[in-house]
Amino acid sequence: MNKYLKMLVALMLFAGVLAGCSSKKDEDTSKDKVSNEKSITITGSNGEVTLDKPAKKVVVLEWTYAEDVLALGVQPVGMADIQGYGDWVNVDAELSKDVVDVGGRQEPNLEAIAALEPDLIIGTDFRIETTLSELEKIAPTVIFNPYPDDKSIDLYEEMTTTFNEIAKALDKEKEAKQVLADLDAKYEEAKVEIAKADLKTKDVILAMAYSGASAPEIRVFTPNSMASMIVEKIGLKNIHIPAEDKYEIFGSSTFNVEGLVKYENANYLYIVQDNDNIYKTQLKGNPVWENLNFVKEDRLFDLGGDTWLYGGPLSAETLLNKIVDTMVTK
């Protein structure tokens, strides 16, 4: 019996050694996997932000950046102001119903964001600069400035640069390159369609209108705006130049109806919300509006209230499609 007992003990000890070796091997393999994950450094207006590995769980605090991650085939885990996004932004990529609303774009809900345990938070500097330090305690946070002071940087360039930085954070750089290449191809296709259209003029102004306290306000987009550059890419000419070459950092000038008189021979492209259609309310019967040439000649092109002029590549595609569909088929 002692002989068998000794053999049993020896076998058990040997099995324990094997198990320990296996456990050590698994642990080492796990460590190797972690060490093989590549760190990523992205650059925003808050400087360089380094991630240990590509972000998988992303919270976006601006509609544009939600659109950017969707264009790359990624659903954010959390997003600010989902209802507003649905009202204003019309893109092919759908936002999942599982995405959690984390409050307003200006004042996001920090507790809701923390509960999602994100790998990365993305926002704009002019909205969340005051809460940046709190967000950074939750997860790495990068903020971008969509309206740079540097006049040499146009807003379209800023859009593509930011899109590529976000793609880098998600390890989706190849996908981003393809998205932008596809968009360039669509510009060329749209340009052909516009060239074939029977338009009295290729001159346009592009406006977003809404009710003011006492009179309608009309936001007319300037040449440095992303929307204007899309217009130019498809063969149209934006003729609005700010007075005295004033640099409009947000890419638009605000007019009343009298300010449109000098542009009455252009085509009038506009975005207006159905529930705030100033053309049917505040401007209805207005003699200045009704005597503008583009009104009398029916050169008004309604692009719909959900054509977002401050978005990313998907909104750019929506804008060019809306322009072509409206101007070519009218």
Query: Domain spanning 40-171: which CATH class is it, in words?
Result: alpha beta
Q: Report helix, strand or coil for 79.
A: strand
DSSP result, 177-244: HHHHHHHHHHHHHHHHHHHHS--S-SEEEEEEEE--SSS-EEEEEPTTSHHHHHHHHTT-EE----GG
Q: Average pLDDT of each block of 10 consecutive residues along the chain (330 residues)?
A: 50 51 50 62 94 96 96 97 92 93 94 97 90 94 90 88 97 97 97 93 95 87 94 96 82 92 97 92 93 96 92 95 89
- The per-residue pLDDT for 8 is 46
Q: Residue 7 belongs to what H/E stretch?
A: helix 2-36
Residues 6+ apart with CB under 8 A from 107: 131
Is the Cα torsion angle 25, 26, 31, 33 positive or negative in sign?
positive
Task: Please identify which residue in the block is written with the tokens 């510009």.
Answer: 187
The pair phi, psi for residue 267, each rounded to 5°, is -80, 145
- The per-residue pLDDT for 188 is 97
- The per-residue pLDDT for 31 is 47
Find the Cα–Cα–Cα–Cα dihedral 223, 248, 270, 311, rounded to 10°.
80
pTM of the model: 0.84
Token pair of 121 as six digits: 């938070």
Same fold, 40-171 and 190-329: yes
Question: Across-strand partners of 219?
Answer: 208, 254
The pair phi, psi for residue 92, each rounded to 5°, is -70, -35
Residues 6+ apart with CB under 8 A from 93: 67, 70, 71, 314
CA 101 and chain centroid, separation:
17
Token pair of 302 as six digits: 């309604």
DSSP result, 103-149: B-SSSB-HHHHHHT--SEEEEEHHHHGGGHHHHHHHS-EEEE-SS-S
The pair phi, psi for residue 23, each rounded to 5°, is -65, -40
d(CA 19, CA 21): 5
Topology (CATH) of 190-329: Rossmann fold (3.40.50)
- The per-residue pLDDT for 288 is 96
- The per-residue pLDDT for 246 is 78
- Burial status of residue 235 (CB atoms within 10 A of its CB: 0-12, 13-18, 19 or more): middle
Nearest to 269 by CA among 235, 301, 233, 306: 301
- 203-210/267-271 β-pairing: parallel
d(CA 278, CA 36): 58
Domain parsing of the chain, residue ranges: 40-171, 190-329
